[in-house]
Chains A and B, each alone.
Chain A
Amino acid sequence: MFNDKKIGALYVAPFVIGFLLFTAFPFVASFVLSLTDAQLQDQLGSANFTGLQNYTEMGRDATFQKSLGVTFFYVFITVPLKLAFALFIAVVLNFKLRAIGFFRTAYYLPSILGGSVAIAIVWRFVFAGDGLINQALEMIGITGVNWLGEPNTAMFSIILLRLWQFGSAMVVFLAGLKAIPEDLYEAADLDGASRMRQFWMITLPLLTPVLFFNFIMQIVQAFQEFNGPYIITGGGPLKSSYLLPLMIYEEGFKYFNLGYSSALSWVLFVIIAIFTAIAFWSQKHWVFYAQESDKNRGDKK
């Protein structure tokens, strides 16, 4: 009755339908919408085609430029810091210590809780003027800081929320570390290389494929951060934490500018695409694939 082909098609159908309906269609539709002046509350048919007007509008929109600057700042600070921190913890957790399983779990926990709404709310209380951090500071005689009330520190608290979720990147690093052959270190030990030197000459080069993967993932995620600013600061004060995803949301669902909102999301998409492309292009200069070099060596023989 059913041949293999049909059954196969049946199996993938839920994904294909879901993908077409909830990813491909909105993807295309948002681009079409971005060329119109569509308003959320109107019938879609009443929208006018306005060409690239939404895109040129961004050149005049001070809020967009502010938001873009804030977003770049956020990404450029969080991604390197988070990668460095995750790598550091992964290296530490790669030592052969007692109860290491417990520590690995403990450090991974924040990532399970993730950037969820509940955690963002906790964060808001922790950093509030009368929150946990300031209470602790006051206990040791330091005047509290207005974390959420000043533009610089408000951004800082949102950055910290992402840094705190270093677990998933850490686990990937840990897997990468495990894959590095022990004998390389033994040989280095015999040659008298210090631990530091071993890290720079062996660990890091062999870890670059994993670093590359993590880098891409973190860039993509950081550009899309929404929960933190939406729940903790509302994008303020003075739009100092008004990341682009929050602006896209507000344009669409607060001001009802579906067209402009769609255009903004396409700009965000293109920015992420450009950064990913740069990363892929640059990888031949810094990413080292062990198998590849083995093969090269084999060829030379």
Chain B
Amino acid sequence: MSHTTLDALRLHRRKVLLGAAALTGLSACSQSTTSSSDGGAITLRMSWWGGTSAHKATLNALQRFEKRHPHIRVRGEYTGFTGHLERLTTQIAGETAPDVMQINWYWQTLFSRDGEGFTDLNQYKNEIDFSQFDARTLSMGTTKGKLNAVAISNAARLMYLNKTTYDKAGLSLPDTWDALFARGPQFKAKLGDAYYPLDGLFQDFIALARSYIVQKTGKALVNSETKSLNCTRADMHEYAGFYAKMIRDHVWPSAQVRASYGYLPQQEMRPWINGEFAGTYQWNSAIEKYTDTLAGKQEVALAPYPMRPGATDAGLLYRPSMMFAVNAKSQHPRESAMLINFLLNDPEGVRAMETKRGVPVSKAAQAILREDGLIGKLQQDSEDMLARLPINVLESPYFEHPRVRDGFQDILESFGYGKITLEQAGDALYDDINAILHRVIR
């Protein structure tokens, strides 16, 4: 090889290296690792989703934390819920996730199937006072012995009904399944076609019907171990029948009626706002989002939870609604743990956060907020009911997997539009959902 070509090659290589350096420089900029420390001061990053009031409360709490610990700065990264998971997923994949993250319970199955996806908080018993949390709550943040996440609040779907509309119809809130079924024809007779005693998206209905079946079987609907439904074919036929009955008896708006409003959250639908759709099967932690949009003076009340005769379990989806987790690659896990304790257990942090993320699980926090009169009636009623109801069945997180949920929806929708018979719907619920579970549980 002659000198000139060698030189040319060398030059070429230098150019390539320069280019590569520029690229890594770029990616280094975007990476900025998880946190930085300069001159002894530590900067933590914390991300969460929520509404405006939650943002304000959290930022306020972070300020108080910084005042308490002058050497720590906390940078908040907050968004609405839409797109939050996509964003966090990208950050975790790109190793640019924040130190402290607010996560949903089932996200643990996405990011930490082996318990290694987040920091094991058991190492920070001195920083976080775990005695404020009951064993069940802690176990729901634990994967393969690693404590990955601490619950902020617990949540369950309960039945919230528009008492104003029920009063208008001269009807009491139903306290059994049969009473609920009866409200359909009664609503239709007293208030007209536009009024329904209960409403929700498909995903809400799917959870309600699950509760109905679990009250019969006394077992979780999904078994993660066998990757299949934990019930018989006959049970799924009953599931389909439950939908058919609710629609036929005017208890729940049909697929056609619901779709006529377009793709819209329930609380933004006009019939919910003006009280025609007089109920929702909703997470207690989210109920304020629904009462907020009601027009004028309307009252929403918690209905007695319907139980099937002889049921030993209410069949509730009861689990942490939001949790805090620490990035497995955080440079400052100890400080992150301190921050979590401040937000969940410390009087100052608790008072700043109020009940913007639901009623806290932490016993200390609950005591403080109750003393301050910050827990609303609907929230207190829900807490009391959850303490009273038999809740022993723990549902597999895969029940809430988007693919599984959409599987249920496709079948119920097809039946609702008359594309398949009730018989076929029952079979499909058993066969198709089993097939989906087999695919998604890895």
User: Known contacts A255-B402, A256-B110; is A127 also within 8 Å of B262 by CB?
Assistant: yes
Once the chains bind, are A238 and B93 in contact (CB under 8 Å)? no
Per-position binary interface string of chain A over residues 24-43, scored 1 when its CB falls under 8 Å from any chain B CB and 0 otherwise: 00000000000000001111
Contacts of A44 in B (CB 8 A): 93
Known contacts A237-B417, A255-B402, A255-B403; A154 and B259 CB within 8 A of each other: yes
B410 CB contacts on chain A under 8 angstroms: 239
What 0/1 pattern do residues 401 to 430 of B give for CB contact below 8 A with A?
011000000100110010100000000000
A154: min CB distance to chain B, Å: 7
A255: chain B residues within 8 A (beta carbon): 402-403
0/1 per residue, B38-69, Cβ < 8 Å to A? 00000000000000000000000000000000
Contact A237 B403 (CB under 8 A): no
How far is the CB of A69 from the nearest CB of chain B, in Å? 15
Partner of B259, one of A41, A148, A254: A148
Cβ contact within 8 Å between B256 and A41: no
Q: Using Cβ atoms and an 8 Å threshold, which residues of chain B touch A237?
A: 255-256, 259, 413, 417
Q: Is the CB of B260 within 8 A of A40?
A: no
Residue pair B402, A254 in contact (C-beta under 8 Å): yes
B1 in the interface, Cβ–Cβ < 8 Å? Answer: no
CA distance A125 to B270 in the complex (A): 10
CB-CB contacts of A134-173 with B at 8 A, as 1s and 0s? 0000000000001111110010000000000000000000
CA distance A227 to B46 in the complex (A): 31
A76 within 8 A of B: no
Is there a chain A Cβ closer than 8 Å to B111's Cβ? yes
Q: Quick one: CB contact mask for B108-128 with A, threshold 8 Å, 1 for yes? A: 001100000000000000000
B6 lies within 8 A of chain A by Cβ: no
B261 lies within 8 A of chain A by Cβ: yes
Segment 359-397 of B: residues with Cβ below 8 Å from A: none
Cβ contacts B246-277/A at 8 Å (1 or 0 each): 00000000011111111110000010000000
Most buried by A among B263, B413, B414: B263
Q: Report the stretch among A90-98, A101-109, A217-225, A228-236 that lies at the interface.
A: A228-236
**Counting CB contacts under 8 A, is A128 at the interface?**
yes
Please name all residues of chain B whose beta carbon is closer than 8 Å to the beta carbon of A128 when the two chains form the complex: 260-262, 270
A256→B86 CA distance, assembly (Å): 9
A238 with B414: CB separation less than 8 A: yes
Within 8 A of B (CB), among A6-64: 21, 40-44
Q: Determine the distance from Cα of A253 to Cα of B93 in the docked complex, in whole angstroms.
A: 13
- Asked if residues A234 and B270 are in contact (CB atoms below 8 Å), the reply is no
CB proximity of B115 to chain A, nearest CB, Å:
15
Looking at the assembled complex, report how far the CB atom of A83 sits from the nearest CB atom of chain B, in whole angstroms.
Answer: 28
Inter-chain CA distance A255–B405, complex, in Å, is 11
Q: What is the minimal beta-carbon distance from B405 to any residue of chain A, in angstroms? A: 10
List 21 A-B pairs, Cβ < 8 Å: A40-B86, A40-B89, A41-B93, A41-B110, A41-B111, A42-B93, A124-B262, A124-B263, A127-B262, A128-B261, A128-B262, A129-B261, A146-B260, A149-B260, A232-B263, A233-B262, A236-B259, A236-B263, A236-B413, A237-B256, A237-B417
Tell me whether A189 is interfacial, beta carbon within 8 Å: no
Roughly how many angstroms separate A147 CA and B256 CA in the complex, as a whole number? 10
How many A-B residue contacts, CB cutoff 8 Å?
74
Q: Which residue of B lies closest to A233 (CB)?
A: B263
- Determine which residue in B92, B110, B261 has the highest number of CB atoms from chain A within 10 A of its CB, and name it: B261
CB of A130 closer than 8 Å to a CB of B: yes
Q: Which residues of chain A are within 8 angstroms of B90 by Cβ–Cβ distance?
A: 40
Which residues of B are found within 8 Å of A43, using beta-carbon distances?
93
Quick one: closest A residue to B264, CB to CB? A124
Give the contact-size bracket for chain A.
20 to 34
Are A231 and B111 interface neighbours, CB within 8 A?
no
Shortest B438–chain A CB gap in Å is 15
In chain B, what residue has the closest Cβ to A154?
B259
Q: How far is the CA of A43 from the CA of B403 in the complex (A)?
A: 21
Interface residues of B in 71-88 (CB under 8 A from A): 86
Most chain B CB atoms below 10 A, which of A40, A41, A128, A232: A41
Q: Chain B CB within 10 Å — which of A154, A233, A256 has the most?
A: A256
Pick from B111, B256, B270, B402: contact of A130, CB below 8 A: B270
| Extra 15 A-B pairs, beta carbons < 8 Å, given A148-B261, A256-B110 | A41-B110, A44-B93, A124-B262, A124-B263, A125-B262, A130-B261, A130-B270, A146-B260, A147-B260, A149-B259, A232-B262, A236-B263, A237-B259, A237-B413, A255-B403
Pick the 3 closest A-B CB pairs, nearest first: A129-B260, A234-B263, A149-B260
A127 to B259, CA, bound (A): 11
Please report which residues of chain A, range 221-271, place their CB below 8 angstroms from some CB of chain B when the two chains form the complex: 230-234, 236-239, 253-256
**Residue among A130, A233, A236 with the highest chain B CB neighbour number at 10 A:** A236
The CA-CA distance from A158 to B414 in the complex, in Å, is 21
Cα distance A76–B257 in the bound complex, in angstroms: 29
* B residues 217-269 touching A (CB-CB < 8 Å): 255-264
> Which of A130, A151, A231, A239 counts the most B-chain CB atoms under 10 A from its CB?
A130
Chain B residues with Cβ below 8 Å from A21 are 26
User: Distance in Å from the Cβ of B111 to the closest Cβ of chain A?
Assistant: 6
Residues of A with C-beta under 8 A to B402: 254-255
Alpha-carbon separation in the docked complex, A40 to B89 (Å): 7
Residue in A42, A150, A256 whose beta carbon sits within 8 Å of that of B256 in the complex: A150
Select from chain A the residue with minimum beta-carbon distance to B263: A234
Bound form: Cα–Cα A232–B261 in Å: 9
In this complex, what residue of B is CB-closest to A43?
A: B93
B255 contact set on A, CB distance < 8 A: 149, 237
Tell me the smallest distance from the CB of B149 to a CB of chain A, in Å.
15
Question: Cβ of B414: which chain A residues have Cβ within 8 Å of it?
Answer: 238
A238 lies within 8 A of B257 (CB) = no
